Amino acid sequence: MGKERDGTGPERPTTSLSPSAEFPPLSAQDVEALRRLGEHWRAGEPVRALPVDPELRPSGPGAAHARGPNEEFRPDQPGELTTTPAAEQPDSLLGRLAVRVRRVLLGPPLSSTSMLRERMRKLIALPILSSDLLSSVAYGPEALLTILVLAGSAALGLSLPIAGALVVLMVAVGASYRQTVRAYPHGAGSYLVASDSIGPRAGLTAAAGLILDYVLTVSVSVAAGIAAITSALPALSPLAVPLSLLVIAALLTGNLRGIRVAGNIFAAPTYLFLIAIGGMTLVGLAQAGARGFAVVPAPPVPASEAVSVLLIARAFASGATSMTGIEAVSNAVPALRPTEWRNARTVLTWMVSILVLLFSGLMFLIYLNGLVPRANETLLSQLAHRTFPHGPWYAIVQAATALVLLLAANTAYNDLPRLLYFMARDAYVPRRFLHLGDRLALSNGLVALSVAAAVILTAFGGRTQSLIPLFAVGVFLAFTLSQVGMVNHWRRHRESGWRRRAGINAFGAALSSIVLVTAAITKFTSGAWVVVVAVPVLVLLCLRVRRHYDRVRQAVSLRPAPAPTQLPSEGGRERNMAQEFLPQRVRHLLVVPVARFDQTTLRALAYVVSLGQPSLAVHVSPEDQEADRLRDEWTAWGDHIRLETVVSPHREILEPLAQYIAQLRERSPDITLTVVIPEVVAEHPWQRILHSRIEHRLRKALRRLPGVVITSMPIHLSEVHSPAR
C-alpha cells in the first residue's frame, strides 16, 4: 500500500476512502513522545478493581452459556466489543421515527467491511462517470455553431476544421488522464497531481476550478433538463424552480443510498441516451450516404461579425464545453473494483472513444444537413426531426436527451464529495467531509453540493444560461494545471519512456491553456469574471482553514516530556507540562454553584466530597437577606464544605458567577478547576423551556478559560416518585 505525507503529520494510506481517515496513526516522533510521557506517570500503585464489568458479560445462572453481553454489543475479542443495530437506536420516540424514515428512503446501514462490495464495476462506472461528459454533446456543437454563425452562413464551413481540432484536444486530454490514473491510482485527479508536482497552491487552484464546475454542472444540467420538459409541456413553466429542486432532492437521495444503488438507478438513462443518439447518428449517416453525402445548403444568415482569429478561438472555446466531465474518472478511481487503476483506464478509454464518435458524427450530420442554431429549437431537435420525420423516434431522442441532461449532474455527485474528502484529509476544508455515512457515501459532501446547486438555481430563477460560459474556465483551469503537473511528474521520476509521456502531457497542457485563456478573455464580461474572482477567494479560504487546523494540531500534539529530575524543581515549560500530563502533579478544586437546598444540591455536594479533593460551594444572591438565610441553612446542615456567598445587588446571577470562577482560576492558574452544576433533567423535550438550564449558559461563558472543567450532576424527574396524595 502506498503512503504519502503532507508535511504536517503522520504517514497515511492513499489507496482508498477510509472511515478512520480523521484519526491517522501517530508519527514515530509522537509515539516516542508518548512513551516518554508514560514513563513519568505514577507507577507502583495497585490497579483498583472496577465496580462493573466493562465487557458487559452476563452474570447469574446460565451465564456460562450466554452468547454475548447483551443485544446492543457483541464481544469479538478480549477488551473489544462491536455494536449491533440495537445500540444505534435513539432513545426518544421522535429519534426512532426519524431513523425509520431514513431507513425507508436510504435503506439499512452498511458495515465498513462492505466498502469493496459497494464499488462500481465497469459497466456501471461508465454511465455514472460519463453522464456529464456524454450529455455535453447535446449542447457542445450548438455552442460552437452559435459563435460561428455570427459571421454568417458562409462561416459554417469552418465548423468541421474546428471540430477536428476539438477531437484532437479530446484525445490529448483523454490520453493525459489515462497516464494520470496510472501514476496516481488513489484518485483526486487534478487536485492531487497539481499539489504533488507543482505545489499546494496550484492544487488548491485546480480544486477551486473543479468545485465551481461541479456545482454549476448540477444547477445548469437540472435547469436544462427541466427546460426541455417545460418546452414540451408549457403549463409546467411556472413550476420550473420547484421541479428543479425536486430533481436535486431525488439525486441527493439516490446518491445517499450508496454508490452501487445509485449506479443501478442512474445507469439506464445514460445507456438509453447513447442508444438514441448513436442510432440517430447511424441512420443520419445512412440517409446522407444514400444521397451521395451531398451537403444541404444552409439557410441564409446575415453576418454581424467578420471572420477573424478571435471569432474562431471563441467558437473553439465554446465547443470545448463538450469536454466537461472528462476528469471524472481520475477523481473516482477508488470507487471502482480492483484493480482500480486498470479498470479506470478502461472506462476512460470507452468514455473518450464514445465522445469522439458522437461529437464527430453529430457535427458531420449538422454540416451535411445545413442546420443552423435557432432560438426556438435546439440543433439536436432539428437533426432528430430531419432524421426521423415520422414515428415515435423523435420523441424517444428528445426524452432520452432531457433525461440524461437531468442526470448529468450525477457525475458531480460522484466526484465532488471525493474531491472534498481528499482536501479534508489535507486539512484544507472542514474535517466533516471525511465522514462516511451509514450507506458508505460521503454524505456531507453530497449535502453541501445539493445545497450550493439549489441556491444558485433558485437565485437565477431556474434560468442558468448565463452560467454556461463559466464551465470552460473552471474545468480547463484544472485540465491545464493537471497536465503541467504530469509533465513535472515525468521529469522528476524519469521512468522508462518518460519523454514520450511528458510530450503527450505537454501537448495537452498547451491546448488546454489556449482554451483557458481564450474562454477567460472572450467570456469575461459574459460571466467568466465570476470564476476569475471566485477561484482565488476559494484558495484563500482553504489556506485559512489549513492554518486553523495547523494551530489546532500544534496545540494538541504530544510534546517532549521533561527529564524526571526536572519535575519537582524546574519551572516554566517543564513544570506546566508536568501539571498538564501527569496525574500526580494535577491540583484540583471542585466548585458547586448552590441556588437552594434540595436533592440536586445535596447529590452534587455528596459527589464532590466523595472524590476526596478540595471543594468549595458558591451562592450568588440578589440580596443580603437571602444570603443570610442560605448561610443559616448551611450551618444547620453541618457546614461540611466551605461556602462562599456573593451578593449581586443588580440581580445578575450568571455573569457574577462566571466572573468569580474566572478570578479563582486567575489567582491560582496551576489548579484544575471543576465546576459541578446541579441539574434537573426533564422527562419531555417541551419541559426544557420551563428550566433555566444554567449549565449550558455557564459552559458557554467559561469556555474561553483554560483549565476549567464544566460538568453537571443530574437528577432525572423520571426517577423521582411523586408523593402520595
Same fold for the pair 116-549 and 576-719 = no
d(CA 523, CA 539): 22
**Sign, Cα dihedral of 528, 533, 539, 545:** negative
Q: What single string gives the DSSP state of each residue in 237-282?
A: GGGHHHHHHHHHHHHHHHHHT-HHHHHHHHHHHHHHHHHHHHHHHH
pLDDT at 143 over 80: yes
CA distance readout (Å), 434 to 146, 215, 286, 446, 608 = 43, 19, 52, 12, 40
Distance in angstroms (rounded) separating the CA atoms of residues 233 and 236: 6
Q: State the pLDDT at residue 464.
A: 61
The Cβ of residue 357 has, within 10 Å, a number of other Cβ atoms equal to 15
User: Residue 291: its pLDDT value, please?
Assistant: 85
506-552 tens-digit pLDDT: 888 888 888 888 888 877 777 677 888 889 999 999 999 999 998 88
What DSSP string runs through 651-703? ---HHHHHHHHHHHHHH-TTEEEEEEEEEEE-SSGGGGGGS--HHHHHHHHHT
Would you identify the CATH topology of the domain 116-549?
Amino acid/polyamine transporter I (1.20.1740)
618: helix, coil or strand? Answer: strand
- Percentage with pLDDT > 70 across the chain: 84
pLDDT of residue 690: 75
Query: Are the C-beta atoms of 197 and 492 separated by less than 8 Å?
Result: yes
For the ranges 348-357, 429-438, 486-495, 707-716, the one whose mean pLDDT is highest: 348-357
Check residue 12 and give its pLDDT: 42
The x, y and z cell numbers of residue 620, run together, are: 450568588
The least confident of 48-52, 68-72, 194-198 is 68-72
Question: Do residues 327 and 210 lie in contact, with contact meaning Cβ atoms separated by under 8 Å?
Answer: yes
Instruction: Give the pLDDT score at 354.
Output: 93
User: Does the pLDDT at position 556 exceed 80?
Assistant: no
The CATH code of domain 576-719 reads 3.40.50.620
Mean of all residue pLDDT scores within the chain: 80
CA separation for the pair 269, 127 (Å, rounded): 8
Domain ranges of the chain: 116-549, 576-719
Q: What is the pLDDT of residue 4?
A: 42
pTM metric for this prediction: 0.78
Half-sphere exposure of 285 (CA within 13 A, CB side): 12
Percent of the chain's residues with pLDDT above 90:
14
Instruction: Taking residues 596-612, report their average pLDDT.
Output: 88
Q: Residue 710: count other Cβ atoms within 10 Å of its Cβ.
A: 19
**Which of 36-40, 412-416, 430-434, 496-500 ranks highest by mean pLDDT?**
430-434
The pLDDT tens digits for 82-129 are 777 776 676 667 767 777 777 777 777 766 666 556 677 888 888 888
What pLDDT was estimated at residue 450? Answer: 94
Burial class (CB in 10 A: 0-12, 13-18, 19+), 588: middle
Q: What single string gives the DSSP state of each residue in 73-91?
A: EEEEETTEEEE-GGGGS-S
For residue 329, give the nearest of 316, 319, 340 by alpha carbon: 340
Strands in 708-716's sheet, in edge-to-edge order, are: 642-647, 615-621, 587-593, 671-681, 708-716
What pLDDT does residue 655 have? 85
